[in-house]
Structure 1
């Protein structure tokens, strides 16, 4: 199964921002970032690039010196699944209002969201989440996922217990068997709902950056990049590595105009980056895969 592949753009995306480098106005990261710790948005951890065992860990450790840490786990698993489906092929700025509207219409503290969405009328749900783009496709996927959760687990609460308590491999395999759920979505549920260590979800930023750095092969697919990172980054740092790499991708290593194009020293990874597909001398930027002969 392809990772959250684009099933087509038959619906209008007029109300969405599909730029993968767009930053949400509600992004929880502050304008000026500091390291983690109890006063920095997460749990205390040590990041020491000098003692890193691999180049991938060295990158994550440098990110740890720059960005806020987050805590992982604790999100309701089905709500997290829905939220991640809504985020596919669009930005947080577009998908967050869709999520809020969905919860307003179908959610509530005493409501089983899976049961409500499993019984939802598809066109009404599509209208509710229209700001996320691809709303017809996503509404069908969400309803299908809700029906699957209700049929297999009985309730959203039971599904949450499954995600939290069962073996990560079994959870991931079950999630990947749901139509419309790819590896990134499954891994985000494992990380943000299950709180599982050693999970490094690969989105468009992560896929681009670690190939551009030369840590993963230039023609690696999303799963290849994930395997490299989960092998080379300590388990306790994988979750932070995912979220911090996204922030780094928004700030420095953007898809079209990475910081090194204007100033080789502007990027905090300049000395350990292979700049695969980035050519400062000409200003050309291509996908790393295009550099493979």
Structure 2
């Protein structure tokens, strides 16, 4: 595993490659984003984007959701992977929003993770993107990059990755680092082909990195 200095270097260089990276998720309010993050689990951005317009129109609020049914929600999201479970999560979390939070998406990690279908990654996305709070979400792209570049050990859990990254870079960069790493993971350090070696600035003057990453 890389030292703190070497790991910082890799992350900062990725941020320099994508200085203007922003969330690609389409949403207009925290409730829409909550539905999007539920749909996004083990699904492509493209598949989620195809269903959101009709979904948002039909379900503008948690109240509209619970006046429907999981089966009806399924009809709007059936092209998204694991749609049956996700329909249940959207329905149940909407019930919980109304019962516990007056229909509003809460602003704290503990409260967000009390909602059905919202785990640590989703809670961090909501905190960072919807509420502009400091948080670092670990998705498949972030996990792949951190392991490939030896920022963490190969068997590191999402929680361990989050702890490592948030330990080595200041909180003010967490959101930017997350978005930049997503772009890097989609375009360069992909699951199929890794083109990281085409960007020597990642490893410049860092023999430790050169010896560990190909």
Same fold (TM over 0.5): yes
1:195 is aligned to 132
CA distance 1:217–1:274, shift in 2 (3 Å) = farther
What's the offset of the Cα at 1:230?
1.0
Give the drift of 1:119: 2.2
1:181 aligns with 2:118: yes
Provide closer, same or farther for how the CA distance between residues 151 and 274 of structure 1 changes in structure 2, counting only shifts above 3 A: farther
Matched, 1:139 2:87: yes
Partner residue, 2:189: 253
State the alpha-carbon separation in 2 of the partners of residues 137 and 217 from structure 1.
32
Distance 1:103 1:233 in 2: 36
Relative contact order higher in (CA < 8 Å, ≥ 6 apart) = 2
Return the match for 2:100 from 152, 176, 199: 152
Give secondary structure in 2 for the equivalent of 1:132: coil
CA distance in 2, matches of 1:201, 1:151: 27
Using a 3 Å threshold, how does the CA distance of structure 1 residues 265 and 83 change in structure 2: closer, same or farther? closer
Q: Could you give the per-residue CA deviations for residues 239-290 of structure 1, whole angstroms, max 9, x where no partner exists?
A: 0100110111111111122115xxx4446524554686x7x6xxxxxxxxxx
Matches within 5 A, 1:29-48: none
The answer to whether the 8 Å contact 2:8/2:168 transfers is yes
Query: Which stretches in structure 2 are left out of the alignment for 5+ residues?
Result: none
Aligned partner of residue 230 in structure 1, secondary structure: helix
CA contact (8 A) 1:67 1:244 kept: yes
RMSD of aligned alpha carbons: 2.3
Q: Which has the higher helix share?
A: 2
- Determine which of 17, 22, 38 is the counterpart of 1:66: 17
Instruction: Provide Cα deviations, 1:92-141, integer angstroms capped at 9, x if missing partner.
Output: 1001122222012222xxxxx11111222211110101222211110000
**Alpha-carbon distance change, 176 to 126 in structure 1, aligned in 2, over 3 angstroms:** same
Query: Pick from 69, 72, 78: which aligns with 1:130?
Result: 78
CA shift at 1:76, angstroms?
2.4
2:32 to 79, 83, 89: 79
Instruction: Provide closer, same or farther for how the CA distance between residues 192 and 275 of structure 1 changes in structure 2, counting only shifts above 3 A.
Output: farther
The 2-side partners of 1:252 and 1:194 are apart by 29
